[in-house]
Structure 1
Amino acid sequence: MPITCSTRGTSSNATSPLSTPPMRLPLPPASTKPVMSSFLIRSFCIVFFANRFRRYCIGRALQINDSVGESLSCFVLPLICRTPLFTELINMSAARQVFESITVDRARELILETAPKPTETITLPLAQAVGFVTSCDIAAANPLPTYTNSAMDGYAFRFEDVVGEQEIVLPIVGQSFAGAPCQQTNFEPRTCIEIATGAAMPEAFDTVIPFEKCDIDETARTIRFQTASVKSCANVRYEGEQINQGEVIVSAGTRLTAQHLALLAAAGVSEVVVYPRVRVSLLTTGSELAEPGQPLGRFQTYNSNGVMLETMLKAMNCEVESVSMQDSAEVIAQKIAELLERSDMLLLTGGAGNGKFDLSQTQLNAMGSMQPWSINMRPGRPMRFGQISGKPVFVLPGNPVAAFVSFLEFARGALLQMQGLTEGLWLKQYPARLVNDIKKKPGRAEFMRARIVSFEDGAPVVEPLLNQSSADLVMLTQAEVILCLDHDSDRYAKGSIVPIQYLRDAGL
């Protein structure tokens, strides 16, 4: 019996030795094919016009010279542009660009070419200047020490008076204390005075012996000591032996620490000229975000990136304005414009990818000049960099570890340059030995979180942490170093020497 196969008005017959009843193969509903065809045709047309418009018209005045173009621009295309499908396709086309893949070193070069160096300065008292970067050399207003003084509690004498003696007895003829110097200026040979640490040395004396090395007779007011127990000029700090008056003691481009400020104060400096704080606007985006301390809704997560990055920025002495908001193209665009009016740098998290829901990236492309490259690295490849109104903009990935690494390896260096530093913009790398084999994708740089397990021949032996997920904050808290694997290699054998960065060098 023949098998009949019906396909909407067409049929084919075949002879079969099997005895089976006629059968009809299941077909889609009659209306599906026309609808799908219509949808595909409309989509194709819209994509065609969208790409044409995006290439020639978006961001500048519409320029079409021929009569057909004028008709389309006046009547047809404005109607198409108002459709939701057109808008969505435009956003998808803008977001899903193909970026040039560049190396870590090249990205750093391009970032530093864009990040502005500071020009304005402010004057601050020492107590308010910690963490700021000096804009000029600072010279000592007075020598240091400011006068010749004793480095020990003991007895001051003239060393030549005891030369040739094994043991000597000296009468105590005066005293000198810090802030209360000995008023006597003429001394008989082979005499001494009691002196305290920091007290002024009489010009007649040149050596101090600690009281612990002396036999002291309080009644007779004498001391006895072995001359071999002290050397000439011992335990004396001479005026200007550390710093001369007018000598540069802090160079331009130095980040001031408590130690620097103590030195400046001791050298008679009361205020410093520094570069002002870099003002950074931090915008975290994501409809799934809830702020710490707020109730957590279903399918929400707490905004850990905002807390982490704000803390890292403040540790760098930046002035930070932190804002979190949901994914909304219009609201994000408005907020970006507001933040840039009062900041020197914009730092965003979320929306760094290359998909239709990455609204931050789409808005920035429309507002400014985002660089047409990505970095072949892991984690953090989605990171983007550019400028809006002459101000650097970083779009960091939403995954917290990727955001952490991207900030550490790129945004931090740009900020240091904007603060006035010229050296040490990138974390220093040190040699370390691998505890196990590593295999990675060739051509891709990797920044692996690792810990130090031991030391061999003075070099740390490091072990990558078990989970290298860009979302694993638990592993990030256990990391001591970043293992820096370059683009070229794809295998690293156990015992290989590899570069690492200490997180402590970044204050982390």
Structure 2
Amino acid sequence: MFLSELLPVRDAFRILDENQRFTEPETVDLLEAYHRVLADDIVSRFDSPPFDRSAMDGYAVRAEDTFGSSPGNPSTLRVTDSIGAGEVSGVDVGHGEAVRIATGAPIPAGADAVVMEEYTLQDGPDIRVLRPVAPSENVAPAGEDVRRGVTVLREGTLMRPQEIAMAASAGYSKVRVFRRPSVKVIVTGNELVDPSDDLEPGKVPNSNLYTLNALVESAGGSADPVHLPDDIDTVGEEIESSASEYDVIITTGGTAISRGDVVVDAVDGLGEVLFHGVALRPGKPVAFGMVSETPVFMLSGYPVAAMVQFDVFARYYLLRMQHLDYRHRAVKRRCRAKVASGPGRTDYLRAWADDEEVEPVQSRGSGIIRSMVGSNAYIVIDENLEGISAGEECDVLLFDSMVI
């Protein structure tokens, strides 16, 4: 059996770290690699760009043929060819000659600069150059971005659009990434009904099912949600079967420390509850355990408490499960109002932050979803602090910093 006692937040993180699981690599098309984590280094297969190319629309020339050019004394050059993007010219650019060239097209042999089109005038088969260019002007040299054989992305990198561009430029249409965690979401509660149903006495819309589904996706996981009644046998059967099919199980409801704990009791009967009750507000009844080597996060039934518990603990675990070097990273903001806090617990207060200041929201109940809608951050008050004074700097955890 387990004991229900309030752990400091830091000890809860220690237990999560001691029981951290990871997903294995898989190969995916680069089109599916957004927000995935690289499982291998990416080494460029060739120079990028692979040839000297024009950085402008204009004319490839020998720079020395333009020296001294001006509107009053233009240089005249004979146009001998035209190159579009993806094309190659077989013409060597000789003295007094030019080749019309598009942005990105290879620089033809003999040329060493590009005159921008707006600095030329068409004169039959010739152009008149109105200003000089220096050697290499408007030319992007081969390998300017990346050289062949250079490591351009490291294992553990989160693939944003810019990393996907780099992988493609390095010659990859498929990459090895770590698999997304599969997450069984079990929402319990006899009072919960489909949001589109008419409400009977004692019933409330089931927001947790949709909330947890979205939260899991925001942490890079793939969720499979289900709603179950408050029945220990039904819940236990679902947890037991899910433990062999999913990487993580997340439940809501049935965790209250002061009364019957359907979910916690079910996990305790199937495996081990490693903690139940953490010294944080809101959401102290949060629990964590293992069933058949599968981690189980047991969150509160109150929507806001469940969201906070997910952000603090489950999100941390899921991101690290994908081999991301993730820690909650707070920033400093000046608090606009005085905030009270009790010693011995860590407070995560809903708040709205800008670039300089942060203001706590007024509605703080664990069931006030509107308070989360009006927030973009948590004010984090350490267990050793007894609140924050107005105008004092405080730690702020921005929602955007936790989403991949």
TM-score, with normalisation over the residues of structure 2? 0.93
> Corresponding residue for 2:13?
108
Q: Measure how far apart 1:323 and its partner are.
A: 1.0
> Corresponding residue for 2:62?
158
Contact kept in structure 2, 1:140 and 1:267, CA below 8 Å: yes
Contact kept in structure 1, 2:276 and 2:285, CA below 8 Å: no
SS at match of 1:239: coil
Which of 216, 221, 229 does residue 313 from structure 1 map onto?
Answer: 216
Deviates more, 1:142-151 or 1:158-167: 158-167
- Structure 2 CA distance for aligned equivalents of residues 103 and 154 of structure 1: 67
> Corresponding residue for 1:441?
342
Contact kept in structure 2, 1:131 and 1:316, CA below 8 Å: no
Which of 228, 238, 258 does residue 335 from structure 1 map onto?
Answer: 238
Which of 318, 323, 329 does residue 428 from structure 1 map onto?
Answer: 329
Give CA-to-partner distance per residue, 1:76-132, whole Å, 9 cap, x none: xxxxxxxxxxxxxxxxxx7xx441x333233222212202123x3222222233332
- Structure 2 CA distance for aligned equivalents of residues 252 and 261 of structure 1: 14
> Corresponding residue for 2:126?
221
Give CA-to-partner distance per residue, 1:341-367, whole Å, 9 cap, x none: 211111010112213322111111222
Amino acid at match of 2:267: L
Contact kept in structure 1, 2:27 and 2:176, CA below 8 Å: yes
Deviates more, 1:251-260 or 1:393-402: 251-260
Higher relative contact order (CA 8 A, sep 6+): 2
Give CA-to-partner distance per residue, 1:267-301, whole Å, 9 cap, x none: 22121122222111100111111122233221011
> Corresponding residue for 2:33?
129
Q: Measure how far apart 1:485 and its partner are.
A: 1.2
Give CA-to-partner distance per residue, 1:33-83, whole Å, 9 cap, x none: xxxxxxxxxxxxxxxxxxxxx8xxxxxxxxxxxxxxxxxxxxxxxxxxxxx
**Aligned: 1:146 with 2:146:** no
Structure 1 residues 233-382: aligned runs within 5 Å: 233-372=136-275, 374-382=277-285
Amino acid at match of 2:80: V
- Structure 1 CA distance for aligned equivalents of residues 351 and 10 of structure 2: 22
Give CA-to-partner distance per residue, 1:433-476, whole Å, 9 cap, x none: 11111111112211111113x6xxxx421110111111111111
Which of 108, 115, 118 does residue 209 from structure 1 map onto?
Answer: 115
- Highest Rg: 1 or 2? 1
**Aligned length in residues:** 401
- Structure 1 CA distance for aligned equivalents of residues 336 and 33 of structure 2: 44
Amino acid at match of 2:182: R
Contact kept in structure 1, 2:66 and 2:75, CA below 8 Å: no
Amino acid at match of 2:114: V
**Aligned: 1:413 with 2:319:** no
Contact kept in structure 2, 1:162 and 1:190, CA below 8 Å: no
Amino acid at match of 1:107: A
- Structure 2 CA distance for aligned equivalents of residues 324 and 313 of structure 1: 16
- Structure 2 CA distance for aligned equivalents of residues 231 and 315 of structure 1: 51
**Aligned: 1:200 with 2:112:** no
Q: Measure how far apart 1:420 and its partner are.
A: 2.1
- Structure 1 CA distance for aligned equivalents of residues 69 and 118 of structure 2: 20
> Corresponding residue for 1:462?
358
The structure-2 alpha-carbon separation of the partners of 1:379 and 1:184, relative to structure 1 and needing over 3 Å to count, comes to same
Contact kept in structure 2, 1:175 and 1:181, CA below 8 Å: no
> Corresponding residue for 1:450?
351
Amino acid at match of 1:108: F
Contact kept in structure 2, 1:409 and 1:426, CA below 8 Å: no
Q: Measure how far apart 1:164 and its partner are.
A: 5.5
> Corresponding residue for 1:71?
none
- Structure 1 CA distance for aligned equivalents of residues 383 and 315 of structure 2: 21
The alignment's C-alpha RMSD in Å is 2.0
- Structure 2 CA distance for aligned equivalents of residues 426 and 408 of structure 1: 12
Amino acid at match of 1:450: A
Contact kept in structure 1, 2:80 and 2:91, CA below 8 Å: no
SS at match of 1:307: helix
Which of 86, 99, 110 does residue 179 from structure 1 map onto?
Answer: 86
- Structure 2 CA distance for aligned equivalents of residues 383 and 140 of structure 1: 46
